[in-house]
Structure 1
Amino acid sequence: MQKTKQQGSIEPYDHPAGGWGAVKYVAINLIKEKVAGGNYRTLFKQNQPEGFDCPGCAWPDRQHASTFEFCENGVKAVAAEATTKRVTPDFFAQHTVAELLQQSDYELEQHGRLTDPMVYDATSDKYVPIAWSDAYALIAQHLHRLDNPHQAAFYTSGRAGNEAAFVYQLFVRMFGTNNFPDCSNMCHEATSRGLPATVGIGKGTVLLDDFEHADTLLIFGQNPATNHPRMMGELREASKRGATIVSINPLRERGLERFTDPQSVIEMVTMGSTKIASTFIQPKLGGDFALIKGVAKRTLELDDDAIEQGTERVLDVAFIDEHTAGFAAFAADLRMQDWQELVDESGVSRDDIEKLARIYVAGKRVIATWGMGITQHKHSLQTVQMLSNLMMMRGNIGRDGAGLCPVRGHSNVQGNRTVGIEEKPSQEFLDRLGKVYNFEPPREHGFDVVETIEEMLHGKVKVFIGLGGNFVMATPDTPRTFDAMRSCALTVHVTTKLNRSHLVHGRDALILPTLGRTEIDVQNGVPQGVTVEDSMSMVHISYGMNRPASKSLMSETAIVANIAHATLGSGKVDWLAYAGDYALVRDAMEQVLEGFENYNERIAKPGGFHLRVASREREWQTSTGKANFIAHAIQKDTPIRRAKALYGEKLMTLMTTRSHDQYNTTIYALDDRYRGVFGQRRVVFIHPEDRAMLGFEAGEWVDMATVWNDGIQRRADRFLLVDYDIPRGCIGAYYPETNPLIPLNSTGDVCNTPTSKSVPVLLHRSEERTLAA
């Protein structure tokens, strides 16, 4: 065991994921948050047809609703909302913003639920109470002062329900802009922008039931035991019936080795567990593209062998002929691709690439899942499209037990995009919206997250309104993002708990507290439900069960509607009617959105309904009317390659990641149990041979500095070196602590997603203050 004097310890974790460890931490979090006794029962309504949708991840719910459908991290999210701890006006009276800024993100989280709307008072450097009506008026005043609507940006986190998001986009477009930076821009944008060109829609093609029929599961760039723990139940069942599961990830994650299902009485009583992945492939950071292309090349070679030997074809020729375009050019590109380049660029031996190819072609029903390990690189869009190519080669799209499965993070991030939170909306959507509401929507593309920060820095975005989230800590280039937010005339945050974004504010600033997903939402005497869409396009309704944390709280839908009413009036839209009856909002969504026919009726059924994904039915909404193979070459000129040319093997590629006691930027505690980190967060995972090569001892403290070409010094100091099973030349550390190292202009091609999984850095002993060039 490696201990440090300053904080915490490093203790290898040899137990299975889940099991009694998960039960223990469920209890710890309920106690720590001082959850009232009656609210414990809330857990048994979580992810149930008559209950509420977990405010955490977007993994779908089983329609049969087993005895309990919650996980350890879901409990943390619910406990954070159900806590009895409160942040009242008296709390703000006792603390200046400057004082609160000295607290860690974990300490800010622990203060509890916000109770009243607050406005920043520059004279005292404190937030003071404000009436809701005055808050709405202040927002309207600032919006009316702008020279044009594009000087405002309207952020959305994936927690917002469909109703609030739809009203939000309607208000903003009637105000006159498409400036909708949202959390999709920072996570699965490569999926959203990459898949439409290949299969016609930026969503997955599988349902949860497909996991019961798959014989092979390829898990790319994902740590489900931490990020989507309920997925582990599906993987456990697949493993038990003999399906082959492959983990493809730079980090060998404990949760994909063995898992004890807390719902299994036998495993819990006998201290048993289930082996999950049978094969682990560890590409270097950014190596997934070359790895997948290598598997595709080998698949083609195996098909050539089958033709030569007169045996069954490896390619699904019927599918390719009937449903695809561009295969000949794609195959020609694969044949010209040099094998050694694939090995070098992937960081995976040719033997392992060929082993993965054999596993793939042996599968009759293959599901490929992926997370942000795939989507946060410069060439992430190309990687998503290459994975789509690979799956099409054997017809693994549009049949039972097979398909593409992007696993999204926040609970309704996909739903937000579906209902119109999109800075690049289609003309068809705008046409329908304008027709229903009798106005001309703005046609110019708006700003995404990175563009919004850049425009703030240039003084061109002056008002920022955030519907949930922790914008300044979720985004890259933290000091520059701080400067951007502080340049605004007004910042507004609709939120449940205090976070750092509320403390890095514009000249005027509002904190508007909202109901949580777990809380009863009554409007005009009638309980209201909100709808969400999960990662597999299932849409269902969620009703809160707990008494609101404060009588002063407003729902997200009501807050947005009141801002719209104060800003635009209700001549064209009866915003306050929307605030009072969410069924009216759903009636409107039905008129505007394809696939939402009979919306109120369909969500009344237990489990809701599946929002049709055309590619699941082998209908291809592309320019060719086919699923398209798209060839891509390995990129030669990249920031990592240029940095390597300067610094050689001393250059490390950093990936940011989350700990097990974390959800996005929310820090629940300071442990990362499955990786053996306890009581601390400032650690760097490094291969022991790299540590030795750099001249460090295990347990030394290092500073990190980014190698970039814009003259801006980016650094993050005092991180503990921890030996770990990670490819040579790669290191890992937690965000948001390492977000200052990610240059704002280091983004993925086309999708413009920050490259949080491929940051070129140098390490120095903490005593040294040498900066990277």
Structure 2
Amino acid sequence: MAIKPYHHPAAGWGALKYVAINLLKERVSGVNYKSLFAQNQPDGFDCPGCAWPDREHASTFEFCENGVKAVAAESTSKRVTPAFFAAHTVAQLLEQSDYELEQHGRLTHPMVYDAATDKYQPIAWHDAFQCIADELNVLDDPDQAAFYTSGRASNEAAFLYQLFVRAYGTNNFPDCSNMCHEATSRGLPGTVGIGKGTVTLDDFEHADTLLIFGQNPATNHPRMLGELRECARRGATIVSINPLRERGLERFTSPQHPLEMLTMSSTPISSMFVQPRLGGDFALIKAIAKRLLELDDQAVLIGAPRLLDLDFITAHTSGFQAFARDLRAERWPLLLEEAGVPRAQIEQLTDIYIRGERVIATWGMGLTQHKHSVPTVQMLSNLMMMRGQIGKRGAGLCPVRGHSNVQGDRTMGIEEQPTAAFLDRMEQVFGFAQPRHHGHDVVATIAAMMEGKVKVFIGLGGNFAMATPDTPLTFKALQSCELTVHIATKLNRSHLIHGRKALILPTLGRTEIDVQNGVPQGVTVEDSMSMVHISYGLNKPASPELLSEIAIVSHMAEATLGTRHKLAWKAYRDDYACIRDDIEKVFDDFYDYNARVAKPGGFHLKVASREREWMTSSGKAQFVPHQIDLDTPIRRARARHGERLLVMMTTRSHDQYNTTIYALDDRYRGVFGMRRVIFIHQQDIDMLGMKAGDWVDVQSVWEDGVERRANGFMLVAYDIPRGCIGAYYPETNPLVPLASVADGAGTPTSKSIPVLLMPAVPS
């Protein structure tokens, strides 16, 4: 274990070194190495990692460190067989770390939990599906079951899943969107009419200014750095707005460019770094908007050109006057206090925004996992609308989502709050009544399980137990279920936190050949920029016992529904083109789905706001004013505890993707061989009377009387605003109260948790 500051550029030779280490560790066979070069290629497969798009989905091989790690993890030669489960009780496996569980390899057989031995035992596929059907069909109400979806599920699997679940009779669709970009999905419809971004990769070629909010591309979507490199090299201004000054946004050495690699050179990325306090982005964005309005008022007084885009505001928006009144009434001292950014820096950032003729604003979970994340997303929309930076080439809104198909899953109907129009179309196409009441999201599902209102949990991918907040409570909720089912490629902790009955159903990965009726099948995904493309695996399946997600979903549906609704489950799993034929009947934008997706690069789904068509109640983009909330849990906690009250953000390490831990290093932040660290300003360490390297316990401060603790973390002095700390999840998820969610989105507030640090109690 060591803390060693990292002074090299992102990527470069360091990335190649760690990829080599990972490939050796996963023992990827020689025949599977070819799959590393098939990511995001016309005849290959979509990377099972992030949702960053590819140019035409037909470019030459584009190196991505974490993409290679994701493929290596799926292509590993290590196996979790029935013999493995026979040798380990669940209690023994629970003693292992998340990293150790990941390292066991691919699941090979369907397994059922045996309480008498505390072990998983093999079960025939038919019996597994019948077990699920029996448990679902004895429930008093379909709403007593919840159906989780990971962002790795394909469009076809997601569409069948929601079709099955709605035929069963519920809208209980907790999914990974609920925990990441839900504020985007709920916030943008209120301003621009649709919860998707308005840009494509082509816009990055024409942008002159990029504002990057709450992102760490080098770790979470490394291929984005290639686009930022090209933008920087042609002179675009890039501003990184993030409490942590991330190495990947400072300098980048591109593995795609031999000259940079051979000369050990690099490209500077960001020309300005702004470090708001945690939760301060809303105030910062509003401060920029206020400064812009003030400068425009000054321009009017002296007869200078206006800084607002009045033509856009007049022709395409509503509500500007009310928004402007709110900005003028806002107090500068409050904005500065909440943002934690000096006024001089805000003025500099405003000047950069004004100079930009084509501005792209991107954001990640640094903006969306706060109590006021919906107002923050809407305030960013307001700011961009003030200068007409939406719906023109080289400009727009760019939410950067996480898992590879998290956006596509939502498009396909994985939505606990479906629109009436969508349900009407489903009824028209499939001929059965749809459940109309809203279902449970992730947080509501956990609460319902605790209350005995949800008794069956089925997870299509993911690691629900570790991805969710308030870990001990979530564990109890899952253990209270009558049945838990996990469809997965590799073992994770969720499989060990089980209900009275439990099944593990192993599935094909995206890298693997999926043959049905002798014909290789392709599946499609939708990336962060609304491009849809098809994907074919190349690797031999890890086990002949594996079924595709589509086969598993369709067999569950057949066993559960019987003769109800007469849906073509066998035809769907025999030929995935049949699924796409029905998808286009439900969604107009998927017309000629099979023909269009067969072309290299696939096709782009229309995003109305990109074309300045506004699907809002007014028919125009809408300015939405918001005031700063002066009565928040953090303010109340700080009033009680003073400067010792710190605000914690959870984050990934570099060797991590969501809850999947590839290794114990975070080299860009200088952490090696360990994960239980707290990133904290040196002056806060001094204030606590401690020193870097000391060990502390962490306790969250909440108002429900529940003690939430995570023990044994090392203090690491870091460049982070005072009063703020950072730590890795899932280790710190126990500190996130289930009730602490984004207003209007329900997303856990994992980027703004009030906590106290205290000297570690020796174990």
Same fold (TM over 0.5): yes
Does 284-293 or 62-71 show the bigger shift? 62-71
| 1:676-730 deviations in Å (ceiling 9; x for gaps) | 0000000000000000001111100000001111111100000000000000000
Cα distance between partner residues in 1 of 2:256 and 2:295: 42
- Work out the CA distance in 1 between the residues paired with 2:126 and 2:529: 39
Q: How does 1:35-74 map to 2 (within 5 A)?
A: 35-63=28-56, 65-74=58-67
1:24 aligns with 2:17: yes
How far apart, CA to CA, are the structure 2 residues paired with 1:633 and 1:768?
45
Note the 1:567-582 alignment, pairs <5 A.
Answer: 567-570=560-563, 572-582=566-576
CA distance in 2, matches of 1:254, 1:555: 39
SS of the residue corresponding to residue 314 of structure 2 reads helix
Structure 1 residue 69, shift from structure 2 partner: 2.2
Q: Secondary structure at the match of 2:333?
A: helix
SS of the residue aligned with 1:146? coil
Are 2:612 and 1:637 equivalent residues in the alignment? no
The aligned residue for residue 194 of structure 1 is: 187
Of the three residues 542, 548, 562, the one matched with 2:541 is: 548
Cα deviations by residue, 1:576-597 (Å, 9 ceiling, x for unpaired): 1111111000000010113011
Equivalent position to 1:587, from 581, 584, 593: 581
Aligned to 1:515, which of 476, 487, 508?
508
Query: 1:498-513 to 2 correspondence within 5 Å?
Result: 498-513=491-506
State the alpha-carbon separation in 2 of the partners of residues 210 and 522 from structure 1: 38
Is the contact between residue 285 and residue 730 of structure 1 (CA under 8 Å) also seen in structure 2?
A: yes
Name the aligned partner's letter for residue 522 of structure 1.
Answer: V
Q: Distance in 2 between matches of 1:199 and 1:34?
A: 48
Q: Which position in structure 2 is the counterpart of 1:3?
A: none
Query: Considering only aligned residues, what root-mean-square deviation do their CA atoms show, in Å?
Result: 0.8
Aligned to 1:429: 422
Q: Report deviation, 1:424.
A: 0.1
Match runs of 1:529-544 below 5 Å: 529-544=522-537
What secondary structure is seen at the aligned counterpart in 2 of 1:472?
helix
Equivalent position of 1:681 in the other structure: 675
- Measure the CA separation in 2 of the matches of 1:600 and 1:311: 54
Q: CA deviation at 1:64?
A: 6.6
Q: In the alignment, which residue of structure 2 is the partner of 1:183?
A: 176
Alignment of 1:346-385 (within 5 A): 346-385=339-378
Q: Distance in 2 between matches of 1:496 and 1:69?
A: 25
Give the whole-Å Cα distance in 1 for the aligned partners of 2:252 and 2:472.
Answer: 40
User: Is the Cα–Cα contact under 8 Å of residues 43 and 70 in structure 1 kept in the other structure?
Assistant: no
Residues 382, 632 of structure 1: 8 Å contact kept = yes
Q: Cα deviation per residue 1:491-542 (whole Å; 9 max; x = unaligned)?
A: 0000000000000000000000000010000011110000000000000000
Instruction: For residue 510 of structure 1, give the secondary structure of its aligned residue in structure 2.
Output: strand
1:88 aligns with 2:88: no
Aligned to 1:292: 285
By how many angstroms is 1:747 displaced? 0.3
Alignment partners' CA distance in 2, 1:64 and 1:326 = 40
Displacement after TM superposition at 1:25 (Å): 1.0
**Contact between 2:62 and 2:256, CA under 8 Å: does it hold in 1?**
no
| Secondary structure of the structure 2 residue equivalent to 1:218 | strand
Task: Report the CA distance between 1:53 and its aligned residue.
Answer: 0.1
Contact 1:303 1:315 (8 Å CA) reproduced: yes
State the 1:768 CA deviation: 7.7
1:221 and 2:221 are equivalent in the alignment = no
Instruction: Write out per-residue CA displacement over residues 216-237 of structure 1, whole angstroms, 9 at most, x where no aligned residue.
Output: 0000000000000000000000
Q: Deviations over 1:9-42 (max 9, x none)?
A: 0000000001000111111111110001121111
CA distance in 1, matches of 2:509, 2:241: 36
Gapped regions of structure 1 (runs ≥ 5): 1-7
The 1-side partners of 2:742 and 2:426 are apart by 30
Aligned to 2:720: 726
**In structure 1, C-alpha distance between the alignment counterparts of 2:109 and 2:577, rounded to whole Å:** 27
1:165 aligns with 2:135: no
Q: TM-score, normalised by structure 1?
A: 0.98
2:662 counterpart residue number: 668
Tell me if the contact between 1:46 and 1:70 (Cα under 8 Å) persists in the aligned partners.
no
Q: Which residue of 2 aligns with 1:478?
A: 471
Paired position in structure 2 for 1:737: 731
Amino acid across the alignment from 2:703: N
The code of the aligned residue for 1:139 comes to I
Q: How many angstroms does 1:267 deviate by?
A: 0.3
Q: Structure 2 CA distance, aligned partners of 1:114 and 1:489?
A: 23
Query: What's the TM-score once normalised by structure 2's chain length?
Result: 0.99
Q: Shift of the alpha carbon at 1:195?
A: 0.2
Aligned residue number for residue 249 of structure 2: 256
Residues paired across the two proteins, number: 762
Mapped partners of 2:587, 2:572: distance in 1 = 17
Deviation at 1:309, TM superposition (A): 1.9
Cα pair 1:97 1:503 within 8 Å, conserved: yes
1:614 pairs with one of 603, 608, 612: 608
CA contact (8 A) 1:180 1:447 kept: yes
In 2, distance between residues paired with 1:435 and 1:680? 55
* Counterpart for residue 126 of structure 1: 119
| 1:302 maps onto 2:277 in alignment | no
Is it true that 1:446 corresponds to 2:439 in the alignment? yes
Amino acid at match of 2:672: F
Instruction: Name the CA distance, whole Å, in 2 between partners of 1:545 and 1:306.
Output: 61
Q: What letter is aligned with 2:425?
A: R
C-alpha distance in structure 1 between counterparts of 2:383 and 2:109, whole Å: 52
Q: Any idea what SS the aligned residue of 1:55 has?
A: coil
How far 1:364 moved relative to its partner? 0.1
Equivalent in the alignment of 1:101: 94
Deviation at 1:65, TM superposition (A): 3.3
8 Å contact 1:656–1:734 — kept in the other structure? yes
Deviations for 1:223-264, whole angstroms, at most 9, x for unmatched residues? 000000000000000000000000000000000000000011
Matches of 2:704 and 2:251 in 1, distance apart? 45
Equivalent pair of 2:99/2:660 in contact (CA under 8 Å): yes
Q: Which runs of 5+ in 2 are unaligned?
A: none
- 1:570 deviation in Å? 4.7
Partner amino acid for 2:729? Answer: Y
Q: Which residue is 2:592 aligned to?
A: 598
| Local SS of the residue matching 2:532 | strand
SS of residue matched to 2:761:
coil
CA distance in structure 1 between the partners assigned to 2:689 and 2:426 by the alignment:
61
Q: Does the 8 Å contact 1:201/1:621 carry over to 2?
A: yes
Amino acid at match of 2:49: G
User: Where does structure 1 differ by over 4 angstroms across 4 or more consecutive aligned residues?
Assistant: none
In structure 1, how many angstroms separate the alpha carbons of the residues matched to 2:57 and 2:441?
39
Q: For each residue in 1:588-607, what CA deviation from the matched residue of structure 2 results, as whole angstroms up to 9, or x when unmatched?
A: 00101130111001100000
* 1:70 Cα offset (Å): 3.6
366, 381, 386: which one aligns with 1:388: 381
* Deviation digits for residues 43-73 of structure 1 (CA, Å, limit 9, x no counterpart): 1110112210000000001117333124000
Q: Matched residues in 2 for 1:594 and 1:565: separation? A: 27
**How far apart, CA to CA, are the structure 1 residues paired with 2:470 and 2:19?**
34
Residue number in structure 1 paired with 2:619: 625
8 Å CA contact 1:48–1:69 kept in 2: the answer is no
| Structure 1 counterpart of 2:695, one-letter code | W
User: How far does residue 312 in structure 1 lie from its aligned partner after superposition?
Assistant: 1.5
Q: How far did residue 302 of structure 1 move?
A: 1.2
Q: In structure 1, what is the Cα distance between the partners aligned to 2:361 and 2:583?
A: 32
**Cα distance in 1, alignment partners of residues 55 and 67 from structure 2:** 15
Q: What SS class does the counterpart of residue 588 from structure 2 fall into?
A: coil
Q: Give the 3-state SS of the residue equivalent to 1:595 in structure 2.
A: helix
Q: 1:720, 1:693 → 2: CA distance? A: 16
Select which of 455, 467, 470 maps to 1:462. 455
Secondary structure in structure 1 of the residue aligned to 2:417: coil
* Aligned equivalents of 2:477, 2:42: Cα separation in 1: 43
Q: CA 1:295/1:367 → structure 2, altered by over 3 Å: closer, same or farther?
A: same
| Partners of 1:284 and 1:323 in 2: CA distance | 34
For 2:582, the aligned partner's letter is A
